[in-house]
Chains A and B, each alone.
Chain A
Amino acid sequence: MMKRKLPSIIGVWTLAFLFTFSSLSGVALAEGKSMYKKTLEDYQVPDVKLISQEGKEIELKSYLNSDKPIILDFIYGTCSTICPVLSVSFAHFQRKLGKDKDEVRLVSISIDPDNDTPELMKEHLQKYGAAEGWDAFTGKRENIIEVLKEFDSYVSNKMDHFPLTIMRGAGEEKWVRLYGLLSASDLLKEYEMLKK
């Protein structure tokens, strides 16, 4: 009798554990759907200057201290796998917002600054059909590394980089870190939560 019950007890506890784990960490679990991990973070934006796709110097801190919500990711121009998906996600997000796209600021920061010139960043945005409100920054290698470290995203080899979307509501202190690739509905959902 005990032997028969044991597997089902284990099964119930396993399910309960999985349910608890997924609720606490904010992981969306469903077959064929995206999985990502959501955490709240106290990132301090470093006092560095980056270069915009127009070749203009940008003070990152004041750029991010915007009265609009910010959504940022880390990409590089010749990235073959993760970055194209992050970028089509941003492009689609802008299209979905329609007229409201002006209410949010998207920014992609290069993790390959030696290769990613402002001109290449501009081409990258054009390739994905970026509208106004989505900027792409490059900059001095040491400044980029500082930014990556502050956002807990630094990897010594860019090929080891991971999919990350980081967002902050207007006037908020805390950053929302979403580790993993997001579906369009995930990104929209997280953005809506940011506005509340």
Chain B
Amino acid sequence: MNVRYFLVLFFLFPFLLQPAQADELIEGYTHEEVLRLGEQMYREGILPSGEPMEALVMGDIPFDGRMFTCDDCHQRSGLGSEEGTVITWPTNGKELFAPRRRTGAYRPPAAEEGEQGGRRELPEYYQVADVRPAYTDKSLARLLRVGIDPTGRRLDPIMPKYRLSSKNLAILTYYLKHLSSEMSPGVDDTTIHFATVIDTSVSDVRRSAMLSVLQAHIDAHNSLSRHEDKRAASGPFYKSEKHKAYRKLNLHIWELTGPSETWREQLEHYYDEQPVFALLGGIAEGSWKTIHSFSEDLKIPTIFPITDRPEISNSDWYTLYFSKGYYQEGESVAKYVRSQLGVSGDFRVVQLYSKNNPKAVEMSAGFDSTWQQMGGLTGQKLLFMQGDVVRENVWKEVFKDDTPVVLLFWVDDSDKDLYLRLEEYRNKVAMVFTSASILNNDFSSISDTLRTKILVTYPYSMPESETRSRFSVERWLKARKIPLTDFDIQAKMYFLGWMLPGAIKNMRSEFFRDYFLEGFDMMIDQDYSIAVYPRLTFGPGQRYASKGCYIVKLSSGTSPEMTPVNDWVTY
């Protein structure tokens, strides 16, 4: 008998260890599967069957999940959004399954009543009734299917009414209960931990330019010049929620050494030592790919790293770059050629570059991808190794027939003869392009004669137009006794510091990484505080803030003037 009792307990033991949430699970699915399927419904509008979700919006407009989804309005974090005249309420479990107070209404602290001070106990006439009670599974189902909330109110018809089976409804409900339910790592009651990643092969001047400005912003936030600590402790009740959100910022420095293949391990080690909420700035000499992947895999936002070699992706989420870097220069050439000649016609596209020059490789990739997307045929590529003599047969191949050539001359000035040879062939090209980045803004290898023909990509503000914003940055640096050493980097980090408080404030006390990133998505387009780009623009899911690149003609002389032949953004 005892043995039998023991055996029953032995076999039941694993089941007894299952978490309580197992009761909530949908039949036949594990916790992870339900979350995956729920996320698929929420973000992609696709049911577990693979069919799109079906719904009605505005009362009588049918649509399906391929057109728009829950996270379009409620956002990936589920914390909602505000766009124009439409306010979308939070739909994450923490908010949905708790009573909703009026916005800004007094919310008693989560602690027990005994811990509340007299100041926090409001007179009855100040206390605001709940706008709605907590949702239950049943009332949420009613809302999603017929648009009526737990108080019996009919929601604005912009909230779709979904056709959902009980099982699919249960999956979505389960997902919402777990959406942004626990604060992201890297935040505690007093501090938000950030890190900045520094590739130690970066020069001291560039490293210091990035770090000094970033740290000055962090110090300014932590200086409590607005008495945030006091306000949080004793400010007026109607602002207590706002002030309680205040946290000091702690910037950790994560230095990466050795080959980039080892960086992932180093990053994970740093993260294990001290989880951070997000990565700010950062600088690397080569590709940002490893750091990008780390950020993407661990869902850690990275905001405005200093790199001209970002990872290019239409769907990755967690890194917000200033621009696509060298890739964007190639992209802009493709657009400019289309605007002048179309994508097909009596011309050939030829790209000439050294295959071991990473800048050139990125530029070529940017051109190819854009050109193909626009319907152009892949052009010819003639590659050589840097340092090798470009043989005569290469030039012959470029100009092998009488068809006019659009030549993308992604060549640096390590071999000045190449630009001299190009001058000889200048009358055989329909258009010829090079890059200011590849030449490090030194145009001395381009002769005055060649300048009548060659066009140069220039991915920054024109020097004469950046005076006002340049002055703002320089004055800010001077006030903080930071020497001006690398204006490009310092202006970019100045801008990051300009944007950061808005994104932090937007979060209130909802310290979720997705919500932090959504704060940047909702930012107004900027042309005032950024000195090195004409403007930076933002929007949900937009991950490259600079969208343009000038293409310029050079004047003759030792200090050539640049005259744009296009608008900042070319179509």
Contacts and interface: CB of A to CB of B under 8 A. Distances in A.
B157 A118 contact: no
Nearest to B523: A159
A67 interface: no
A96 to B, nearest CB: 10
A8 interface: no
Interface stretch (B175-183, B252-260, B539-547): B539-547
Contacts of B542: 78, 115
Contacts of B328: none
Contacts of A89: 58, 61
A87 B147 CA distance: 21
Contacts of A195: none
A163 B73 CA distance: 15
Contacts of B86: 81-82, 163
Nearest to B569: A114
B382 interface: no
Interface stretch (B77-85, B204-212, B281-289, B450-458): B77-85
- The majority secondary structure among interface residues of chain B is loop
A138 interface: yes
Interface string B494-530: 0000000000000000000000000000101100000
B537 A112 contact: yes
Contact of A78 (B147, B374, B540, B547): B540
Contact of A82 (B63, B83, B540): B83
Given A81-B73, A112-B537, A161 B548 contact: no
B83 A32 contact: no
A79 interface: yes
Interface string B66-83: 111000110100000111
Interface residues on B, range: 35 or more
A114 B58 CA distance: 30
Contact of A115 (B66, B147, B158, B537): B537
A85 B84 CA distance: 13
A115 B547 contact: yes
B370 to A, nearest CB: 9
Contacts of B157: 32-34, 181, 183
6 contacts: A79-B540, A80-B73, A80-B540, A85-B58, A85-B158, A112-B537
Interface of B: 57-63, 66-68, 72-73, 75, 81-86, 88, 147, 154, 157-158, 335, 338, 373-374, 522, 524-525, 535, 537, 539-542, 547-548, 567, 569, 571
- Nearest first, the 4 closest Cβ-Cβ pairs linking A and B are A84-B68, A114-B547, A88-B63, A78-B539
Interface of A: 31-34, 51, 55, 76-82, 84-85, 87-89, 91-92, 112-115, 117-119, 127-129, 138-141, 155-163, 181-185
